[in-house]
Structures are given as structure tokens and as C-alpha cells.
């Protein structure tokens, strides 16, 4: 098999890709804003649907915000590799000689900056909206800071596997939601424990372990999935 040596440095390629994808995200403002607007709409529907009782809303707030974050992440995932796949850029990445793992990691980082970080930044507003006890706001934000990158990392594997399928987006949600369940359970358990004045650091530790594990494994798995899809 022919393996090409890359001309430039890996860090140069990594930052060039991150820079380009951020520029593209800001050029495609609709794609950039859609997950955030979706998040706001989903969360705002709950008080309308189940009533504005502050106690009830405060109790379900961690679950509602996290489920909305999961949904907002999933709807933005399909764009992770799709345009690069469709316009031939992914082929250029493969023959560039740079490791596809590094390229996948750059794409995942950009996805988190564009889709995950706005969710984290919006969460204090959503917490107030849902009457989340103020003492638990910090834990809520911490779970999102640790948890949303895991969503992007795990999601990248699903996107890599489904990118060559015509209706891959539908299959993608079926693939990734079961993998997101443990993150949802652990993250909401941390916030609920904090609201009940119980220890919650063990849950944050579990989330951090999940982040480290997915950061170590997911880019390799996503790169392998992309290679399979390209062939």
C-alpha cells in the first residue's frame, strides 16, 4: 500500500483545519444558530406542556436541559463530516499523509466549539428559566462542560459510519442515542445529588473518566469509520 509522507507539520494541518471550519461555521450562520434555537425551543416547551409550577420545573430541569442538549447535539452532528465527504475534501485528507485521526480530532474540536460550547454558555439562562435551584447551577454547567465534548466524540463515530448512506442522519440518531444514555444518567444524577445536598463529585469523576476514555478512543474509531465509508 502506498503511504504518502505529509509535507507540513501535523499541528499546522490541525490548526488550519480548525480555523477553516470555524470560518465556514460563521459563514453558514443558519447552521450555527439552529442547534441553539432548537435548544431554546425544546426547553421552553416544557413549562407550556406541563405547567409553570416552579417546584416541578426545578425538579425536572436537569433532565430537560440535558435531553435538549443531546437533541441539539445530534441534529448538528450530521454536518460534522458531510460537506467534506460530498465535495471530495475527505479524499484529499486521506491522501494528504496526515493521520486521519488527527483530522477527525480537529473536526470534533470544531464541532464542540460551534455546537457544544453555545449550549454550555446558554445553560445558566436555561437554568433560570426552568427554576433550577441556584446552588446547583455550577454543577449543571460543570456537567455540560465535561459532558458535551463526549457527545461530540461519540457522535463522530456514528457520523463516520453513516456518512456514505443517503439517509444516514436517521440511522445516526439510532446509533448514538443508546451510547448517550450513560452520559445523561450520570450528568443528571450529579445535578440532582447537588440539589438534594448529597455528594456529587463521584458523578463528575465518572463523567471526566468518560471524557478521557472517549478522547483517547473516539478519534481513532471515527477515522476508521471514515476510511470504511470512503471505500
Partner 1 sequence: MLSASKINFERYFEPVFKPVSFDLDAGGLLLITGANGCGKTTLIRVLAGILHPTSGTLSMTAANMAYVGHYLAIKDDLSVIENLRFMRDFMGTSQRSAQEVIAEVGLERVKHNQARNLSAGQRKRCGLARLLLSEADLWLLDEPYSNLDVEGVDLVDRLLLRHLEAGGSAVVATHGAHRLEWHGTVDYFLESGALT
Interacting residue ranges for partner 1, rule: CB under 8 A: 1-9, 12-13, 16-17, 19-20, 23-24, 27-28, 83, 86-89, 91-92, 94-98, 230-231
Task: Judge residue 97's burial from the number of C-beta atoms within 10 Å of its C-beta, 0-12 exposed, 13-18 middle, 19 or more buried.
Answer: middle
* Nearest-approach distance from CB 168 to partner 1, in angstroms: 18
Residue 76 to residues 10, 58, 102, 108, 186: CA-CA distances in angstroms?
27, 27, 21, 12, 23
Query: 186 with 206: CB under 8 angstroms?
Result: yes
- List of residues 6+ apart from 158 with CB closer than 8 A: 77, 172, 175, 176, 179
- CA 141 to CA 197: how far, in whole Å? 17
- CA 104 to CA 215: how far, in whole Å? 11
* Nearest-approach distance from CB 151 to partner 1, in angstroms: 25
* Nearest-approach distance from CB 34 to partner 1, in angstroms: 16
- CA 145 to CA 44: how far, in whole Å? 22
Nearer to partner 1, 29 or 167 (CB): 29
- CA 156 to CA 162: how far, in whole Å? 10
- List of residues 6+ apart from 30 with CB closer than 8 A: none
* Nearest-approach distance from CB 19 to partner 1, in angstroms: 8
* The three grid cell numbers given for residue 153, joined into one nine-digit string: 466524540
Nearer to partner 1, 42 or 222 (CB): 222
* Nearest-approach distance from CB 81 to partner 1, in angstroms: 13
Nearer to partner 1, 44 or 96 (CB): 96
* Nearest-approach distance from CB 161 to partner 1, in angstroms: 18
Nearer to partner 1, 104 or 127 (CB): 104
Query: 66 with 184: CB under 8 angstroms?
Result: yes
Nearer to partner 1, 9 or 170 (CB): 9
* Nearest-approach distance from CB 93 to partner 1, in angstroms: 8
Nearer to partner 1, 27 or 167 (CB): 27
Nearer to partner 1, 1 or 48 (CB): 1
Amino acid at each position: 500500500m502506498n503511504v504518502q509522507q505529509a509535507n507540513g507539520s501535523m499541528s499546522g494541518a490541525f490548526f488550519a483545519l480548525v480555523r477553516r471550519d470555524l470560518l465556514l461555521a460563521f459563514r453558514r450562520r443558519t447552521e450555527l444558530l439552529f442547534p441553539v434555537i432548537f435548544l431554546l425551543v425544546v426547553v421552553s416547551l416544557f413549562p407550556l406542556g406541563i405547567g409553570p409550577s416552579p417546584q416541578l420545573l426545578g425538579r425536572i430541569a436537569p433532565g430537560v436541559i440535558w435531553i435538549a442538549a443531546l437533541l441539539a447535539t445530534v441534529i448538528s452532528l450530521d454536518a460534522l463530516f458531510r460537506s467534506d465527504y460530498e465535495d471530495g475534501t475527505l479524499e484529499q485528507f486521506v491522501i494528504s499523509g496526515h493521520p486521519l485521526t488527527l483530522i477527525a480530532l480537529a473536526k470534533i474540536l470544531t464541532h464542540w466549539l460551534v455546537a457544544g460550547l453555545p449550549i454550555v454558555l446558554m445553560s445558566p439562562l436555561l437554568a433560570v428559566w426552568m427554576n433550577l435551584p441556584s446552588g446547583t447551577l455550577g454543577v449543571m454547567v460543570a456537567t455540560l462542560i465535561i459532558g458535551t465534548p463526549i457527545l461530540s466524540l461519540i457522535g463522530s463515530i456514528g457520523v463516520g459510519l453513516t456518512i456514505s448512506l443517503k439517509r444516514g442522519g436517521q440511522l445516526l440518531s439510532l446509533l448514538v442515542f443508546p451510547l448517550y444514555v450513560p452520559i445523561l444518567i450520570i450528568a443528571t444524577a450529579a445535578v440532582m445529588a447537588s440539589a438534594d445536598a448529597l455528594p456529587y463529585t463521584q458523578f463528575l469523576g465518572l463523567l471526566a473518566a468518560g471524557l478521557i476514555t472517549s478522547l483517547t478512543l473516539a478519534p481513532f474509531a471515527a477515522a476508521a469509520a471514515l476510511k470504511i465509508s470512503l471505500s
